[in-house]
Structure 1
Amino acid sequence: MGQLVPPGPFEGIVTEPYADLARGVLGFAVAAAVTYSLGRIVAVPLIVRVVAARNRNNPTITSATRTYVHVLVLVLAGLVGIAGAGLWSLLTNLSIVIAALTLVVGAASQDVVGSLTSGLFLVSDPDFNVGDWIAWPGGEGFVEEIDFRVTRVRTLNNETITVPNTELTANALTRPYGRDRYRAVESFEIGYDDDIELALRELVEVARDDDRVLADPSPTATLEELGPGSVRIRAEFWIDDPMDADLVTLRSDFRRRVKARFDEIDVTLGPPAGRELSGSVSVDVEKRSATDERDER
């Protein structure tokens, strides 16, 4: 019969904390993972589907709902994980919660807080929506998604750029574009001796000859500026969704046809600036003696 060996004096003290820590980590991981999986698979799609059904003409609300609900699921998963780890009593202590929130807000930079606030303003703005074509001092493009800090914009070159929300709210946004059409503007300079009315009519006709240009609104041409050496005229025409059309090629084709048409009607594009000089030029010839020339040699 074997002899029983009593446990050492430090055996329970050493192993018990590690066992509690392991149980806490395991409880947090399991509870957080289950909550996040259910929220991501069930709650997020369901809520987004309901919001989309109630806001069929406002994709911005749908995109923002997906982002915000996802963040809410993350926060909820963290809280459930804390409860699963047996640390729920920490959350009931109001002073600890306030201290944690103060630490988070204090650690966040001013730019991040500003971007979050700007994102909320953009989402709530009825004139700023996913699907709109916008232009700002830093570029232009098609709004794809509005997140907490940045807005994703797809450019004419099919490049997706991330623009800080603060840049969009702090600057003026130009929106001569609808959700499903784009206004193209082209300017040209002609000479003062050219027939301006004829040039304006031809600009409109050149735009109408392109099947990609919309008939409604109708293309227009206006006199934009009387410069010191030339007259600036401008053509405006509309096309369908710019992301479905090669706008770069369309503009290039329009300029080429304008150049060919103006050559036919003898309208000068980009006339050289004429300058008239007046005055006189005098030349003084100094007579020098032969002795001076020999001394210089």
Structure 2
Amino acid sequence: MMVEALPFLESALGSYALAVTQALYFVVSFAAIYLAGRLTVVPLVGRFLDRRDLDRHARRPLVKLTKFAVVFVAVSVAFGFADYGNFLTSLATIAAAATLAIGFAMQDVIANFVAGVFIYTDGPFKIGDWIEWDNGSYSGVVEDIGLRVTRVRTFDNELLTVPNSQLTDGVIKNPVDGERLRLKFLFGIGYDDDIDRATEIIVEEARSHPDILDDPAPSVRLTELGDSSVGLQSRIWIDDPSRADYVKTRGEYVTSVKERFDEEGIDIPYPNRTLEGGLELTNVEGQIEPTDD
């Protein structure tokens, strides 16, 4: 019986030894390739991105993709060294079926991922930019750009996590993309007021404000003849403002112009509104009491 059992034991030991050897080949080859990639490929990609002078928001996902590629190559080569060919064939079949099922279930995620790639390549905005989207319904400062979502801090200090597809399917407004913001404000004065003097006051107050640029110079144009006022549109420029700076500067500027108008006796008329239509009186006959003369 012992003699008959020897071949079985030898076969079992041989299979065990082969499995251990393949596992060691897999671990050693994976560790070697992974370390080589992290020590050589990742730094090389980092230096390449430095030479391209890419923004921080574009560097982070590219470095992550490089690290993922290193892991993928290390696993693939390690499977080859360990001679796991049959296992790889089965794994590929299972992975194909799983990919098909996951693809249907993750259509939105994939769409956001593709949109994130377009955001990195097209660069419509970057971290720190003030953006508006959805026809101005939402606005804020970009804090982080990921491959699936973008995080925007609103001016009410709320953090919005926005799917990237929402930022690529519509129009995105980047008011300070050129690091300068132009503001327009319509001042209404009375028809009897001096237009030239009002124009001088509007320009003087713009030039005296420390946060309003002299180049481009402030300008004023007569743009409207309303029912009760003459409209003078002021155009001023602010250098690289945040939303808070923009609101503060505009408020101070408009306030100073209003105070100067009051000093100079220039009137800002109240708007005149009229009601169209008529009034219908019913059952009024006999309700008016006669008065004694």
Shorter chain as denominator, the TM-score bin is 0.5 to 0.7
CA distance in 2, matches of 1:268, 1:73: 67
2:94 to 84, 92, 96: 96
C-alpha deviation, 1:182, in angstroms? 2.4
TM-score, normalised to structure 1's length? Answer: 0.66
CA distance in 2, matches of 1:231, 1:31: 81
CA distance in 2, matches of 1:247, 1:211: 13
2:133 matched to 1:136? Answer: yes
Please give the root-mean-square deviation of Cα atoms over the aligned residues, in Å: 4.6
2:145 matched to 1:120? Answer: no
Residue 7 of structure 2 is matched in structure 1 by none
C-alpha deviation, 1:260, in angstroms? 0.7
Q: Report which stretch shifted further, 125-134 or 206-215.
A: 125-134
Letter of the 2:215 counterpart: D
Residue 236 of structure 2 is matched in structure 1 by 237
Correspondence 1:77-88 to 2 at 5 A? 77=71, 80=74, 88=84
Residue 50 of structure 2 is matched in structure 1 by 52
C-alpha deviation, 1:218, in angstroms? 1.3
Residue 4 of structure 2 is matched in structure 1 by none
Contact kept in structure 1, 2:182 and 2:237, CA below 8 Å: yes
Q: Residue 77 of structure 1: SS of its match in structure 2?
A: helix
Residue 63 of structure 1 is matched in structure 2 by 57
CA distance in 2, matches of 1:197, 1:37: 75
Correspondence 1:157-172 to 2 at 5 A? 161-172=160-171
Residue 173 of structure 2 is matched in structure 1 by 174
CA distance in 1, matches of 2:288, 2:175: 73
2:256 matched to 1:257? Answer: yes
C-alpha deviation, 1:210, in angstroms? 0.8
CA distance in 1, matches of 2:83, 2:222: 73
Contact kept in structure 2, 1:44 and 1:66, CA below 8 Å: no
CA distance in 1, matches of 2:95, 2:278: 85
CA distance in 1, matches of 2:262, 2:83: 82
Q: Report which stretch shifted further, 31-40 or 234-243.
A: 31-40
Structure-2 change in CA distance of 1:237 and 1:70 (3 Å): same
Residue 199 of structure 1 is matched in structure 2 by 198
Q: Identity rate of aligned residues, in percent? A: 35
Letter of the 2:166 counterpart: E
Q: Residue 238 of structure 1: SS of its match in structure 2?
A: strand
C-alpha deviation, 1:189, in angstroms? 3.9
Gaps of at least 5 residues in structure 2 are 1-11
CA distance in 1, matches of 2:231, 2:78: 72
CA distance in 1, matches of 2:118, 2:60: 17
Q: Report which stretch shifted further, 98-107 or 70-79.
A: 70-79
